[in-house]
Amino acid sequence: MKILIAEYAVATGLGGTYEIEGRAMLSTIARSFVRCGHRVVYPTSGPVVDAGVPVLLERSDLKGFLSTIDADAGLIVAPDPLASDLIKAVENRMVNLGSDSVAAQLCADKLECTLTLKRAGVPVADVVESPECGCNVYVVKPRYGCGSDGVIISSFPNAPEGYIATRYLEGVHLSVSFIRGRERFLPLTINRQIIEMNGSRFVYAGGQVPYRSPRADEIWEVARRASDVLGLKGYAGIDLVVGDLPRVVDVNARLTTSIVGCAKVLKWELADLILRASFGGLPESVEVDGEITFRLDEL
């Protein structure tokens, strides 16, 4: 099959940590598809990775490029607020190997995503709109954001326009990587997030894959319920804080940087699992062997 992989930072020259993470994800998944015997093409503003065929993107018009490219199947990796429109362009021309545009749009809106999960009984970091009694701490973050950008700790929940405030949760910062197909939810790895503080700001610095939690069954049950409620498909990731309960704090309806570690410890090709999510035949489980810790400044 001819597989299109469109990673936004590489395609448009976004720069900074976006491009570092983007190139790592693109290289990892492109190599996996090539090892599975598929032809890979990817748009780029100039940077190249070690697998697949680069296609130079003119004028950074990624949506226009997606409206003209021919492939059998495609995978979009883009900042959450931009993903839905790009996925629509892929859905109109080929098989979309990730979550559909509706699910991507819902997950991009952190307020609606949180409220949707809460209404369905999935434990979340509760949204707070006014100060509560006692000495409390809140997390203030962009309503439409990506990663840890713009996320701060505050003593006040009065979020400015375009932001939301949630209750700060004590616990272990984890993420889960999984594949959701037509017939089943397939757990891959639980990952520990390396979170550093720069003043009052959260900074995602890397991860440990896998993290062997004694509460794995609880964590996977919450992740499965959340993925069902949101209608995710293919590879996706959910960030949680595990304290009194595993509580969802963010949902990524797309590839996440944790695939860099997943690809090294899973005894199955990620590309094959992603294809099986769309075309059928997902295994009931996959073996995990080993452990890797990575930092963004080393990617």
For β-strands 2-7 and 39-44, DSSP reports them as: parallel
CB 278 within 8 A of CB 232: no
pLDDT at 299 over 90: no
Q: For 13-17, which contacts have Cβ atoms below 8 Å and span 24 or more sequence positions?
A: 13/45, 13/46, 13/47, 13/60, 17/296
Q: What is the mean pLDDT of the chain?
A: 94
Torsion of CA 242, 248, 254, 256, to 10 degrees: -30
Confidence (pLDDT) at 134: 64
Confidence (pLDDT) at 297: 84
Average pLDDT rounded to a whole number, residues 124-152:
84
The model's pLDDT over 139-177, given as tens digits with 9 standing for 90+, comes to 999 999 887 788 988 888 888 899 999 999 999 999 999
Which residues in the chain are classed under CATH 3.30.470.20? 106-121+170-298
pLDDT band for position 133 (cuts 50, 70, 90): low
pLDDT at 2 over 80: yes
Confidence (pLDDT) at 129: 83
Ramachandran sector of residue 162 (left: φ over 0; alpha: ψ -120 to 50; beta: rest): left
pLDDT at 108 over 70: yes
| Residue where the block lists tokens 């073996």 | 287
The neighbouring-strand residues paired with 190 are 176
Confidence (pLDDT) at 124: 98
Confidence (pLDDT) at 135: 58
3-state class percentages of the chain: helix first, strand second, coil last, to nearest 5: 35, 30, 35
Peptide bond into 123 cis (omega under 30): no
pLDDT band for position 44 (cuts 50, 70, 90): very high
The model's pLDDT over 236-294, given as tens digits with 9 standing for 90+, comes to 999 999 999 999 999 999 999 999 999 999 999 999 999 999 999 999 999 999 999 99
CB 176 within 8 A of CB 223: yes
Integer-rounded Cα Rg, in Å, for the chain is 18
CB 200 within 8 A of CB 95: no
- For residues 124 and 117, what is the distance between their CA atoms, to the nearest angstrom? 7
Average pLDDT rounded to a whole number, residues 91-103:
97
Which residues in the chain are classed under CATH 3.40.50.11770? 2-97
Q: Return the CATH fold of 2-97.
A: Rossmann fold (3.40.50)
pLDDT at 30 over 80: yes
Q: Which residues contact 56 (CB under 8 A, 6 or more apart)?
A: 43, 44, 45, 46
Could you tell me what percent of the chain has a pLDDT over 90?
Answer: 82
Q: How far apart are the first and last CA of the chain?
A: 29
**Count, residues in the chain:** 299
The model's pLDDT over 168-215, given as tens digits with 9 standing for 90+, comes to 999 999 999 999 998 899 999 999 999 887 877 888 889 999 999 999
Q: Which helix (H) or strand (E) holds 102?
A: helix 101-108
- For residues 158 and 48, what is the distance between their CA atoms, to the nearest angstrom? 43
CB 137 within 8 A of CB 160: no
Q: What is the CATH number of domain 106-121+170-298?
A: 3.30.470.20
pLDDT band for position 65 (cuts 50, 70, 90): very high
Higher pLDDT, 18 or 213: 213
Higher pLDDT, 130 or 124: 124
Residue burial 59-72, b: 16+ Cβ < 10 Å; e: rest: eeebeebbeebebe
Could you tell me what percent of the chain has a pLDDT over 70?
Answer: 99
pLDDT at 8 over 70: yes
